[in-house]
């Protein structure tokens, strides 16, 4: 079946450090890919998305590129802030497969001063 694999957390970084959170996927069809972020006590917020190979999604300094050849969608940010501390989820939806998101397990990010 379809699945998303994320790197284990927690990831602890100092402020202004570079962030990479790895995400790979397995899909029977052709997926769209998403990153969502969840702050404590809240629901999920869409961070960015990409709908086809080589697309780059970006938002608030975060970026991810849809790599079909490596089935990956790694999240990056050049300089993290304390306010970026949250749990990040990678997810996919199959094109034409209905409106069902398949999520990774989430990666907790902690940014310290």
| Cβ-based neighbours of 69, under 8 Å, separated by 6 or more | none
Q: What SS3 class is residue 19?
A: strand
Nearer to another protein, 32 or 84 (CB): 32
CB of 23 to another protein, least distance (A): 14
Nearer to another protein, 7 or 94 (CB): 94
Nearer to another protein, 43 or 113 (CB): 43
Rounded to an integer, what distance in angstroms lies between the CA atom of residue 37 and that of residue 54? 22
CB of 62 to another protein, least distance (A): 16
Which helix (H) or strand (E) covers residue 90, if one does? Answer: strand 86-94
CB of 11 to another protein, least distance (A): 17
Rounded to an integer, what distance in angstroms lies between the CA atom of residue 65 and that of residue 71? 10
**List of residues contacting another protein (CB under 8 A):** 32, 34, 36, 42-46, 49, 51, 89, 91, 93-96, 98-106
């Amino acid at each position: 079946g379809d699945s998303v694999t994320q790197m284990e957390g927690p990831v602890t970084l100092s402020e202004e450090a570079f962030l990479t959170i790895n995400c790979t996927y397995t899909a029977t069809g052709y997926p769209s890919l998403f990153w969502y972020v969840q702050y404590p006590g809240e629901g999920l917020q869409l961070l960015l998305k990409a709908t086809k190979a080589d697309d780059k999604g970006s938002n608030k300094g975060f970026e991810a590129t849809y790599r079909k050849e490596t089935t990956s969608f790694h999240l990056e940010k050049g300089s993290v802030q304390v306010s970026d501390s949250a749990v990040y989820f990678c997810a996919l939806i199959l094109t034409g497969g209905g409106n069902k998101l398949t999520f990774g397990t989430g990666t907790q990010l902690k940014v310290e001063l």
